[in-house]
Amino acid sequence: MVDISSITGTVQSGTAETNSSRQTLSADMNTFLTLLTTQLKYQDPMDPMDTAEFTNQLVQYSSVEQAIQTNEKLDTLLSLNISNLGAQAISYIGKTAQVLGDVMPLEGGKAKATYTFDKDVLSSTITIKDMNGEVVYTASGETTAGTHEFAWDGKDKDGNQLEDGAYQIIVSNKVPSGETQATVITTVFGKVTGVASDDNGIYIGLGDAVTANLGDILTMRNDDYFDKVDTTPPSGDNDSDGDTTTPPAEGEDESDKTTTA
């Protein structure tokens, strides 16, 4: 996974350092040349100054200047690389991205996320908050180690349909007494609606209300993937991965069952 923000930070830092070094070198070179010409002007003709010393210094200044020019070219290459990443990200528009984070977009009454435990837990609770910090929905989660999917139909605890927008998913867990809580990693899904950049990095828009760093993208899915979200609330009877199984109709074999993702 590419950390775009660290790359852009390196470019900005490197460019600033290069400019500062060039200014310092220029000032030092002017001072050195002034001293050199003054020495040459007032040297004793009978005992001329050793040319080897200031020749070595001239060579050193030349080496430093070449190093600064090399840094400038590297900064340019990094800037071009970031521009290319931004251009490539445009192809993501319309597709569904899975990104690291806990703020998910609710689009058309559908939202999807995953949460991963590093070990088994006694119980877990999924809490959804709006951007004002108000709890709008809670549900029991899975308890086994691994990654589990969570789909939400955008309805609050009273069954009212909430407006599309950004919502935070928080997954808490309980473990046996004396043990440390399980580590939880959450990811969210959303259709990419745009690409933007600033001095800190390149970003993609998820829906109309969520922004994610390009470097946080884990997977890209077909543009119809989000439309297949199962918004059945999780329950203890569901499979550990959040999928629900449709029982076969009368007369069908067990092998004919279909699974809805």
What's 228's DSSP letter? G
Report DSSP letters for 91-159, one per residue: GGTTSEEEEESSEEEEBTTBEEEEEEESS--SEEEEEEEETTS-EEEEEE---SSEEEEEEE-SB-TTS
pLDDT at residue 105, rounded to an integer: 95
Neighbours of 57 (CB within 10 A): 13
pLDDT at residue 198, rounded to an integer: 76
d(CA 47, CA 113): 83
Residue among 203, 168, 201 nearest 186 (CA): 168
Q: Kindly state the tokens that stand for 70.
A: 């090399």
Q: Residue for token digits 């470019």?
A: 11
Q: Are 257 and 245 in contact (CB under 8 A)?
A: yes
Residues present in the chain in total: 261
Residue among 138, 119, 236 nearest 184 (CA): 119
pLDDT at residue 24, rounded to an integer: 62
pLDDT at residue 257, rounded to an integer: 45
Judged on CB neighbours under 10 Å (0-12, 13-18, 19+), 35 is exposed
d(CA 195, CA 208): 12
Element (H, E) at 20: helix 4-42
One digit per residue, the tens of pLDDT, for the chain of length 261 reads 334 344 344 444 545 554 565 566 556 667 767 766 777 677 777 776 666 766 776 677 677 677 777 777 776 666 666 566 667 778 889 899 999 999 999 998 999 999 999 999 999 999 999 999 999 999 999 999 999 999 999 999 899 999 999 999 999 999 999 999 999 999 999 999 988 877 777 889 998 889 998 889 999 888 676 666 555 555 444 443 444 344 444 444 444 444 433
pLDDT at residue 8, rounded to an integer: 44
pLDDT at residue 32, rounded to an integer: 67
